[in-house]
């Protein structure tokens, strides 16, 4: 009985407190603002939404939430008396945000409705980029657009060309050359000698027929300026070497091999450190043509892959396996490694095999 009386008393007190919460009304001069078109270098744009307390109780703006980090809200923190004015300020930062924008500010207060949404919009004109912003990779007296020439996907049967801009920022001519080029790659500057302030092009040609690799491959080459190799500076060239299946007819695709794996993930469970652990991924050619394992690549040297099946034709219906040896070394805790397998199966030309382990290192000797 006492518990029931206490519960009823708390309910009555709660209702009384709730009835005493002051609710008021407010009026805004605007609910949206258009900053129009302005330049990025103009910096932060600010607009005040003026708020008038049109009720009889103090108006409290409890919080203002912006729809993104580019907009910073500020507002009157003190209670606004009846008939008085306050404001909600929207500050938009255009840095690195060219183009049209439309953002919202959600205003929470002791009014009904308790949330009012304000909108700001406009369009930012991108600032004119400096030489340093356009040419981000400085090498001695010249600057490259980037230190990375990406060829993206390259068919194993093709040569592909990519170009990149370069500029001589010095007051003297500069001859640009490249060292350490592999047989599948040609990189040269055009013109080879840049006059002071002159822009040129780096022209790269990737001959995939001369690279035995498959999938994501990369090369690091040296840069020479006026015959002098630039120490500790490398130009990075990458490509994703893929098989050309586009020329296959419907009949050829229907009679293609199918690389069917029993599993693509192998879990070694708990293993000791500094141990060799063998795994075997079994597969079957479930298609109608001979299956070729083009290439097998591991993510790091700690996973040695046995490539006995590479380049060998596996007949329809036949099975084989890819073996790997995982050296747990000094790893500690959960470890995941990947093995990439490239085949002539049009539907599975690149397959990722995952190897998981939980490595336990011996306790240190005290």
Whether the predicted pLDDT of 25 surpasses 80: yes
Q: What is the mean pLDDT of residues 43-53?
A: 95
Pick the CATH number of 250-360 from 2.40.37.20, 2.60.40.10, 3.60.60.10, 3.40.50.10860: 2.60.40.10
The reported pLDDT for the residue numbered 31 is: 94
Q: What is the pLDDT of residues 312-350, one digit of tens each?
A: 689 999 999 988 888 888 899 999 999 999 999 999 899
Whether the predicted pLDDT of 204 surpasses 70: yes
The reported pLDDT for the residue numbered 2 is: 45
* Domain ranges (residues) in the chain: 23-125, 131-242, 250-360
> SS3 of 10, please?
helix
Residue 63: strand pairing partners: 108
The reported pLDDT for the residue numbered 311 is: 59
Whether the predicted pLDDT of 10 surpasses 70: no
Residue 267: strand pairing partners: 356
Whether the predicted pLDDT of 153 surpasses 60: yes
Q: Tell me the pLDDT band of 303, cut-offs 50, 70 and 90.
A: confident
Residue 185: strand pairing partners: 206
Contact between 345 and 259 (Cβ < 8 Å): yes
The reported pLDDT for the residue numbered 13 is: 41
What integer best gives the mean pLDDT of the chain? 89
Which CATH topology does 131-242 take?
A: Immunoglobulin-like (2.60.40)
Q: What is the mean pLDDT of residues 28-37?
A: 94
């Amino acid at each position: 009985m006492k518990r029931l009386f206490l519960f009823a008393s708390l309910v009555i007190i709660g209702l009384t407190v709730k009835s005493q919460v002051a609710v008021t009304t407010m009026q805004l001069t605007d609910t949206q603002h258009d900053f129009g078109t302005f330049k990025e270098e103009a910096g932060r744009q600010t607009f005040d939404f003026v708020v008038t307390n049109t009720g009889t109780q103090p108006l409290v703006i409890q919080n203002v939430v912006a729809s993104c980090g580019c907009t910073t809200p500020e507002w009157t923190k003190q209670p606004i008396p009846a008939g008085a004015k306050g404001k909600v300020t929207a500050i938009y930062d255009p840095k690195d945000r060219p183009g049209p924008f439309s953002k919202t500010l959600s205003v929470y207060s002791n009014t009904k409705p308790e949330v009012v949404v304000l909108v700001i919009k406009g369009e930012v004109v991108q600032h004119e980029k400096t030489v340093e912003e356009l040419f981000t990779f400085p090498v001695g007296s010249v600057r490259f657009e980037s230190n990375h020439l990406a060829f993206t996907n390259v068919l194993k049967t093709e040569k592909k060309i990519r170009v990149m801009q370069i500029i001589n920022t010095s007051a003297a001519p500069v001859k640009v050359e490249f060292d350490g080029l592999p047989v599948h790659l040609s990189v040269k500057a055009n013109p080879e000698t840049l006059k002071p302030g002159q822009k040129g092009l780096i022209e790269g040609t990737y001959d995939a027929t001369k690279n035995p690799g498959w999938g994501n491959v990369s090369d690091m080459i040296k840069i020479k300026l006026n015959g002098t190799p630039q120490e500790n500076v490398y130009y990075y060239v990458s490509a994703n070497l893929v098989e050309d299946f586009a020329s296959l007819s419907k009949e050829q695709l229907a009679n293609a091999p199918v690389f069917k794996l029993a599993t693509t993930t192998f879990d070694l469970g708990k293993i000791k450190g500094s141990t060799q652990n063998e795994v075997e991924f079994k597969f079957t050619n479930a298609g109608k043509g001979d299956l070729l394992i083009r290439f097998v690549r591991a993510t790091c040297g700690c996973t040695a892959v046995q490539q006995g099946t590479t380049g060998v034709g596996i007949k329809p219906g036949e099975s084989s396996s890819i073996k790997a040896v995982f050296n747990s070394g000094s790893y500690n805790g959960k470890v995941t490694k990947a093995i990439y397998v490239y085949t002539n199966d049009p539907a599975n030309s690149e397959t990722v095999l995952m190897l998981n382990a939980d490595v336990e290192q011996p306790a240190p000797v005290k």
